[in-house]
Amino acid sequence: MSSPRLHFPRIPRIVYEGTRTSNPLAFRHYNPDEIIDGRTMAAHLRFSIAYWHSFRGTGSDPFGPGTIRRPWEKGTDPVSVAKVRMDAAFEFFQKIRAPFWCFHDRDIAPEGRTLAESNRRLDKLVAHAKSLQRATGVKLLWGTANLFSNPRYMCGAATNPDAQVFAYAAAQVKKALDVTQRLGGENYVFWGGREGYETLLNTNLKREQDHLAAFLHMAVDYAQSIGFKGQFLIEPKPKEPTKHQYDFDVASGIAFLRTYGLEKHFKFNIETNHATLAGHTFEHEIEVAA
């Protein structure tokens, strides 16, 4: 590890020990080197650690505040804290033998008062991430932009009625694409958590989806202009936080992409519980996407 300090000094690297082991910190069924149907188990199961849940989650819920206290979350400089957090994350990735990680831009670097400040902070953390990737061999499966947490995105990002918010979101995606490419990301994900509506009373469905399509076309054009070779992915979810999300499920996502001539540029990042929320099974969504 590039960091001299270990955050999990008493935890060894997790290895496969079989089903008879009594060691709670061992793989019982996952043997990354076992050959199954001509490929290793690691090649079949390309595990990626989600930075937001694993290292930014607080344990909060609608009924109370967060209860998770992480020892590295100390200090007054948010960038310094973010670097130490990333050191802990990559130590975890390495010890659990995860080949990949994934993140939103605001997961790894704290948002600043301006877009320029946010981008400067992101550049510092991306440089740190690149050195840690080089040291550990962990790769970036996908990157994305957080277009839902800041209050500016209350009414959407690409579908927001305010052109300034649309432009801000576009600039944020531009930067997120840049850093995903710098880190060798294999994919780039669009999850439109607030690209939907709360009520039809004040919503022009056609206009909002036209704007969303224009936004995605701009992302495609920019990715091509910088030589980004990764795959664009749509992550469907029917609702939450919105009442209705435009990429409700794979079927509606396919219809949207074909309507706006985007079908050659996008595939799907299917999340099991998003499928359940849409009233489907994970297997159903995989079959539709295929």
How does strand 35-36 pair with strand 39-40? Answer: antiparallel
Rounded to an integer, what distance in angstroms lies between the CA atom of residue 112 and that of residue 29? 44
Is residue 107 annotated as a catalytic residue, yes or no? yes
Quote helix, strand, coil % in the chain, to nearest 5.
Answer: 45, 15, 45
- 257, 263 contact by CB (below 8 A): yes
* Paired tokens of 225: 């202009």
* Paired tokens of 255: 């219809």
- 121, 112 contact by CB (below 8 A): yes
- 272, 236 contact by CB (below 8 A): no
Rounded to an integer, what distance in angstroms lies between the CA atom of residue 50 and that of residue 220? 24
**Given the residues 7, 104, 128, 211, the one annotated as active site:** 104
**Given the residues 87, 105, 107, 178, the one annotated as active site:** 107
* Cis peptide preceding 4, ω within 30 of 0: no
Q: Residue 80: name the closest of 72, 89, 92, 69 by CA.
A: 72
Cα 133 to Cα 4, 48, 78, 96, distances in angstroms: 16, 13, 21, 15
* Paired tokens of 277: 């929320």
Q: Where are the beta strands (DSSP E) in 80-182?
A: 100-104, 139-144
Cβ burial, residue 163 (10 Å; 0-12/13-18/19+): exposed
Q: Give kind and range of the element (H or E) at residue 88.
A: helix 78-95
- Amino acid identity, position 205: L
- Amino acid identity, position 167: A
Is residue 284 annotated as a catalytic residue, yes or no? no
Residues designated catalytic: 104, 107
